[in-house]
Amino acid sequence: MSSNRIIFRIVCSFMAFFITILTTSPLAMLALSANSQKTVAIEKEESEPVSVEPPVNAISSKPQQPPLPSATVLNENINNLIIDPTLPLYDKFTVAQRNQKNLICRLPKADYYYGQKTVYLTFDDGPDPENTPVILDILKKLQIKATFFVVGTQIKDNPQILKRIFQEGHAIGNHSYNHIYRDLYRSVDSYVAQLHKNDELIMNILGVRPRITRAPGGTVGSFTKEYWDALAEQGYVDIGWNIASGDASSANAITLVANVAKQLENEALWSHSIVLMHDGSGHDETVKALPQIIKLYKDRGFEFRLVNVQTPPAW
Ligand SMILES: [Zn+2]
């Protein structure tokens, strides 16, 4: 064997030995593993920009847009519009705007709904930062839709609560701008001006206008024929009540429940029981009474509805 061949064999043996040591030692494995992780990391970095699915934290950090409530919204063409009796009804336009644009002004024809046992819960004088959110929580928990007749001066201070009422699918009605009787009932013009002012406020916040309204203090003793004519001309429908919870007084929750129970004995009202309550400031007894008032109706098998054009006149 030549000396060159012997040297070649010795070199080969050493190389084989070193390769064995390298591939089996923990240190060498760690180095290889780190290297493979690095490869994965690079691949990940490269693949991220083309990823279709955004990371989960990116989704949750986006501002959440609440879904639009289900409602019938009158737009340009209200001909042949099918009104869902279970949904609130709003308009995109005032009657004046409809006239200007040559759009149909009259509300779509809807037959009054008289159920076997139907109740409409209504709340006046809000939105209030104390009472309205609690009432909304109760209604949400019990899966009941109600109607809120809102006042402009309250909306100005609590626009977010108005949005919540709307987004949770309740009906909203116009209850004047400032609720001050001596301003409101000074004249027909002054009454209508307050409705319009409140209407604009609601439109600016929600993008829709109510067509239902309730006269502060009720129409009896305040409305003359001229008021009714003006209301019809402006496309509003006044909604009264036939069951008074009595919460305009300082009565406690037990009395309020008893008041409703007593009036509920009148079977003539079962087909369209419209309950007057208040969610305005100071009406915490109404909030306390509400679950019991709802229970009264539930126990008797009543269906809960919100006010829209199919709601019959109270009397
Ligand atoms: Zn009121």
CA nearest to 261, candidates 235, 232, 293: 293
Active-site residue numbers? 124, 278
For helices 159-167 and 188-206, what crossing angle results, to 10°?
Answer: 70
Query: What tokens appear for 213 in the block?
Result: 């309204």
Span 46-90, pLDDT tens digits: 333 333 333 333 334 444 555 567 899 998 888 777 778 899 999
User: Measured in angstroms, how far is the CA atom of residue 63 from the centroid of ligand 1?
Assistant: 36
The identity of residue 118, as a single letter, is T
User: Measured in angstroms, how far is the CA atom of residue 315 from the centroid of ligand 1?
Assistant: 19
This prediction's pTM:
0.79
Distances (CA, A) of 270 to 107, 118, 184, 258, 315: 26, 6, 33, 17, 12
Span 247-302, pLDDT tens digits: 999 899 999 999 999 999 999 999 999 999 999 999 999 999 999 999 999 999 99
pLDDT of residue 44: 33
Query: What tokens appear for 307 in the block?
Result: 């006010």
């076997």: which residue's tokens? 116
CA nearest to 278, candidates 168, 171, 121: 121
User: Measured in angstroms, how far is the CA atom of residue 287 from the centroid of ligand 1?
Assistant: 16
User: Measured in angstroms, how far is the CA atom of residue 50 from the centroid of ligand 1?
Assistant: 58
Q: Domain spanning 72-305: which CATH class is it, in words? A: alpha beta
Instruction: Provide CB contacts within 8 A for 59, sequence distance 6+.
Output: none
Residue 28, pLDDT > 60, answer: no
Burial 256-291 (b: 16+ CB within 10 A, else e): bbbbbeebbeeeebbebbbbbbbbbeebebbbebbe
Sheet order of strands, 72-74 included: 72-74, 89-91, 209-210
pLDDT of residue 80: 74
Write down the domain spans for the chain. 3-61, 72-305
User: Measured in angstroms, how far is the CA atom of residue 172 from the centroid of ligand 1?
Assistant: 14
pLDDT of residue 67: 54
Burial class (CB in 10 A: 0-12, 13-18, 19+), 229: exposed
User: Measured in angstroms, how far is the CA atom of residue 179 from the centroid of ligand 1?
Assistant: 7
User: Measured in angstroms, how far is the CA atom of residue 59 from the centroid of ligand 1?
Assistant: 43
Residue 215, pLDDT > 50, answer: yes
H-state helical runs in 55-118 = 56-61, 95-100
**Cβ count within 10 A of residue 213:** 22
CA nearest to 67, candidates 133, 162, 164, 204: 164
pLDDT of residue 82: 76
